[in-house]
Amino acid sequence: MNELIKNIEQWSIDRNIHVGRPQDQLVKTMEELGEVANGISKNKPEMIKDGIGDTVVTLVCLAQRCGLDFEECVQTAYDEIKDRKGKMIDGVFVKEADLDGGFGSTGV
């Protein structure tokens, strides 16, 4: 995976995608997520696969624009969730902290 990420980063540099406002790259990420949603709604696995891949590429580029290491971002997220407890409710994982009414300890 590390080599693939480095290849994406180099591809971004070669095309001058690595510079610019992070907001613009975020818009591209949202576009690609829309493609994933479209593929899911149409039950088209190839469209879903392409959209997920494109989304990851845009996220690698977003991390790069923000001066962050993509793998470090993913590792940080995994470290946060790896021991998380909760349960599935209507097909969605709800973390334990949110099971007291869905709004944390404040009850709001």
Amino acid at 31: E
57: domain range? 2-68
CATH code (residue 40): 1.10.287.1080
pLDDT tens digit sequence for 51-61: 999 999 999 99
Q: How far is residue 81's CA from residue 86's CA, in Å, rounded to a whole number?
A: 11
Q: Is residue 80 part of a domain?
A: no
Residue 35 lies in a domain: yes
Our CA dihedral for 19, 72, 59, 46, rounded to 10 degrees, sits at 140
pLDDT (mean) for 71-88: 93
SS3 59: helix
How far is Cα 106 from Cα 57, in angstroms, rounded to an integer?
38
Q: Do the domain assignments include residue 82?
A: no
Q: What is the mean pLDDT of the chain?
A: 91
Number of domains in the chain: 1
Return d(Cα 84, Cα 99) in angstroms, integer: 13
What's the pLDDT at 97?
86
92 falls within a domain? no
The percent of residues above 90 in pLDDT, for the chain, comes to 79
Query: Is 102 part of a structural domain of the chain?
Result: no
> DSSP for 2-35?
HHHHHHHHHHHHHTTTTSS-HHHHHHHHHHHHHH
* 48 part of a folded domain: yes
